[in-house]
Amino acid sequence: MPPRPPHERHVPSSAISSFIEPERVEALLAPWLPDAQDRAFVVRCMLGEGPAHHRGANYVLLTLLGRVLEHLPPLDSVPAPMGEPIEVPMRLPPHLAKASEPKSYPLRLPSQPLEQLAPRGSRPFEAMVDCLTDGPPQHALSNVAMVTLLTEILSRLERGGRT
């Protein structure tokens, strides 16, 4: 099939769902989500819910980060230190949010790479955390999963540079 011009590129959503392999991303995230049910929940939020183009984009980006990891020798301890992990809040409706115990997703945001960009506790740092963890779960959890993989990638690169 000849490539379509960019403005006519839309494909049927079935074409998107057909290339997504959730088990591949589940395997990729296993070191950070050892519980199989937690893993299935987070991966469903990223690849099984929300608009089709987000599901597909999440899959492509996460899988490519996984490919990068495959090319880097693993550290002695996997996963790499994450700093102090930050919870990803579950957004309940306002009338329930105050009354019930705060809920969070099982995957937490590594603080370690963000601390390379801004001091922990600073306003820019807090703003970065807010940007990465806000919005619908298919965004927030994918952001966090990507930062998690980037943390591992950066740690392996740094270790490789030192030896």
Partner 1 sequence: MTALPEGLEQSFTVAAGELGMACAAWLFVENVAREAGDAGVGALRDALGRPFPVLDAVAAQWLAGARALNTDPSRLLAAVEGSAGLVVVGLEAFFLDVLVARLPPDTRCALLCHSPFDVDWERVLSNYGGRVEPVNLESFQAWAGPRSVLLTFAYGVGGHSANVLPAWVRATGEDVRTQFRALMAWDVLPAPMFVYPRWLVEVDAASFTHLFQA
Binds partner 1 (CB under 8 A): choice among 72, 92, 118, 150? 92
Binder of partner 1 out of 56, 80, 137, 145 (CB under 8 A): 137
Q: And the tokens for 41? A: 């929940």
Q: Is the previous residue joined to 79 through a cis bond, with omega within 30 degrees of 0?
A: yes
Distance (Å, rounded) from C-alpha 8 to C-alpha 6?
Answer: 5
Chain centre to alpha carbon of residue 110: 10
Binding part of the chain for partner 1, among 64-72, 77-85, 93-101, 121-129 by CB under 8 A, reads 93-101
With binding defined as CB under 8 A, does residue 13 bind partner 1? no
Nearest-5° angle of CA 74, CA 150, CA 53?
125
Residue 66 or 135 having the CB closest to partner 1: 135
Candidate residues 29, 41, 128, 152; the one interacting with partner 1 per rule CB under 8 A: 41
Q: Which is nearer to partner 1, 18 or 104 (CB)?
A: 104
Q: How far is the CB of 63 from partner 1 (least distance, A)?
A: 21
Q: How many CB atoms lie within 10 A of CB 68?
A: 14
The beta-strand segments (E) located in 12-115 are: none
Tokens of 10: 């839309």
Residues that bind partner 1 (CB under 8 A): 37-38, 40-41, 44-45, 49-50, 90-93, 95-96, 99-100, 103-106, 136-138
